[in-house]
Structure formats: structure tokens, C-alpha cells
Amino acid sequence: MFTFETSDPKEVRRFRIAQFNGRTATARSAESTVTGHVRSIVENKSSIPAAWTITIIPEEPKPALSMRPVPRARSFMEDFC
């Protein structure tokens, strides 16, 4: 699990929407990028300005797609020529 704290309400809203819709979200920090499902968003009521702690369960990166040529479909008329 990846946990970080933010005080940006726009970022928190983006993570809440991703959590509600079951989509993955990407969190970027200075040294790393984590993509995964949002597990929880907890407001820290004692901080000024408002801050939220966000927990993300990382997903394994998807393998890169190979760029193989797609076979061309034969047309109807090619069968008769």
C-alpha cells in the first residue's frame, strides 16, 4: 500500500471520484509514480489548512503491446481474380 498526504482539494476530489467509480488513479510525487485503486481517503481534522491522507493499492504495470502488423482482410472480389 502507498500512503501520502495532500492539502489540494482538487486532487482529493479526483481521488474520491476514482474510488467511487472503481477506476485506477495515479499519484505522482517527486521521486515516484504509483498507479492503483484508491482504498481510503481520510481527512485530518486537526491540520490547518485541511489535509487528507490517501491510501492507494498499487497495480502491476501492464506489459507493453508489441506492434505486429495486422493481417489484411481479403475482399470478396479477390476470390474471383
Give this prediction's pTM: 0.70
**Long-range own/partner contacts, residues 60-65 (CB < 8 A, 24 or more apart):** 61/35
The residue count of the chain comes to 81
Render pLDDT for 18-71 as a digit per residue (tens, 0 to 9): 999 999 999 887 788 889 999 999 999 898 889 999 999 998 767 766 667 767
Q: Hey, CA dihedral for 16, 19, 22, 28, is it positive or negative?
A: positive
The predicted pLDDT at position 36 comes to: 93
The predicted pLDDT at position 57 comes to: 93
Range 13-21 average pLDDT: 95
What proportions of the chain, in percent to the nearest 5, are helix, strand and coil?
A: 20, 35, 40
- Amino acid (1-letter code) at residue 68: R
The predicted pLDDT at position 60 comes to: 78
